[in-house]
Amino acid sequence: QKEVEQNSGPLSVPEGAIASLNCTYSDRGSQSFFWYRQYSGKSPELIMFIYSNGDKEDGRFTAQLNKASQYVSLLIRDSQPSDSATYLCAVMESGGYNKLIFGAGTRLAVHP
Amino acid sequence: GAGVSQSPSNKVTEKGKDVELRCDPISGHTALYWYRQSLGQGLEFLIYFQGNSAPDKSGLPSDRFSAERTGGSVSTLTIQRTQQEDSAVYLCASSLDGHEQYFGPGTRLTVT
């Protein structure tokens, strides 16, 4: 059973701080990794994807990938209360069917 | 441009009835996915369509669930003889190239 693990949280950070969200996965053949943000009562919104080892930056967001350690992370700099949401890590299953395996999500709370 | 649309947004049905959920993908997207999200749970893959290829039905939880995609665009997910455990948010996503997946707003199904 291929799995994606995330700490459920809540992760509480003060406004302006860096939020660090982590994810581990079991499918060693996976090549594509995604972070979705889900506000309460809403559907997931794609915010970052990463395919290569290392860092990928997009505005206040940085995704980090370490395939050897089977570890993906998302850093949110200058956290804002509007960043408060559940962040879902998703890993594309190896084998060619492009199926995403989702973690249960980490709830982030940014307090003023 | 227009995103993924789903209808209805909410559906309440009695146990044992059949329901149909509809998904309109982003124009030009060849890949279409159905997931479901139960209360407090992660997203669970149901079925995947890619172009004219045979769908990947590996996530359908029982033979009461079926889906079709007509003309490579609109998809319908049908649940026959609904049970209370079918209550969930059913999410459709589409993708241009089978990698980045963009979700619709979902259909909240409640089986009473």
Give the pLDDT confidence of A58-70 residue by residue, as tens digits.
999 999 999 999 9
Q: Is the peptide bond before A10 cis (omega within 30 degrees of 0)?
A: yes
CB contact under 8 A, A43 and B103: yes
- The chain-wide mean pLDDT, for chain A, equals 94
- The pLDDT of residue B20: 98
Give contacts of A88 with chain B, Cβ < 8 Å: 42-43
pLDDT in tens, B40-98: 778 999 999 998 888 889 899 999 999 999 887 999 999 999 999 999 999 999 999 88
The answer to whether residue A1 neighbours chain B at the CB level (below 8 Å) is no
CA distances to B11, B75, B78 from B66, rounded to whole Å, are: 17, 11, 5
Check residue A68 and give its pLDDT: 94
Low-confidence ranges of chain A (pLDDT < 70): 96
